[in-house]
Amino acid sequence: MDRETLLSLLEENPVIAAIKNEEGLQRCLEADNPVVFILTATLNTVETMVEQLKQKGKTVFVHMDLIDGLAQREEAVDYLAKHTKADGIISTRPNLIRHASALGLLTVQRYFLLDSKSLRNVVKGGTPEAADLVEVLPGVMPKIIRQLSTTLQVPLVAGGLISDKEDAISALSAGAAAISTSCESVWFL
């Protein structure tokens, strides 16, 4: 899959289901969300999780920093690319984003915006050229989302603390291309 196809999917349904456990996986399999973020898994479960989601036609991203049993190293990206059918990765680590892109995987560079310094670092550092999307957390900051969506070179995903329709609409209206949430009620909007 390429970035344009991903963006088309998100244009049709800008709510990304973010799953953290088996219960979330089962609910996600019932949902219409075409794009899914696997936020937590283990080395022993990630392959099966990806396979189940792919069987339902989902585009699947795996959060490399949160897979128990894998180190945050390029070899872990190699493992994921070789042993799963994941479409892409999420990571806070630019080196993993670059490596995954070189392997042909889609990439989401994740940033935690904790204060004005972290915001300045994102704006000053720009977007890693290998990133297909940028995700910022928390996603309930319309003013910051508006600023970043016009500053960054790639589409923005707002994630974290999005718990209802109002949060989702606010982030999307501010310029986010999509929102990611583990709040299952938002998946079904």
The number of angstroms, rounded, from the C-alpha of 147 to the middle of its chain's C-alpha atoms is 20
Q: What is the pLDDT of residues 27-49, one digit of tens each?
A: 999 999 999 999 999 999 999 99
Please report the pLDDT score of residue 43 as a whole number: 95
One-letter amino acid identity for 107? T
Please report the pLDDT score of residue 128 as a whole number: 75
pLDDT averaged per 10 residues, the chain (length 189)? 97 98 97 97 97 98 96 96 97 96 97 95 83 97 96 95 98 98 96
| Token couple for 142 | 């319309």
Tokens 């080395």 identify what position? 43
Please report the pLDDT score of residue 127 as a whole number: 72
Strands (E), the chain: 15-19, 35-38, 41-42, 59-63, 67-68, 88-91, 106-112, 133-137, 156-159, 178-181
Please report the pLDDT score of residue 36 as a whole number: 98
Q: What is the pLDDT of residues 156-182, one digit of tens each?
A: 999 999 999 999 999 999 999 999 999
Question: Where do the domains of the chain lie, and which CATH numbers do they carry?
Answer: 3-187 (3.20.20.70)
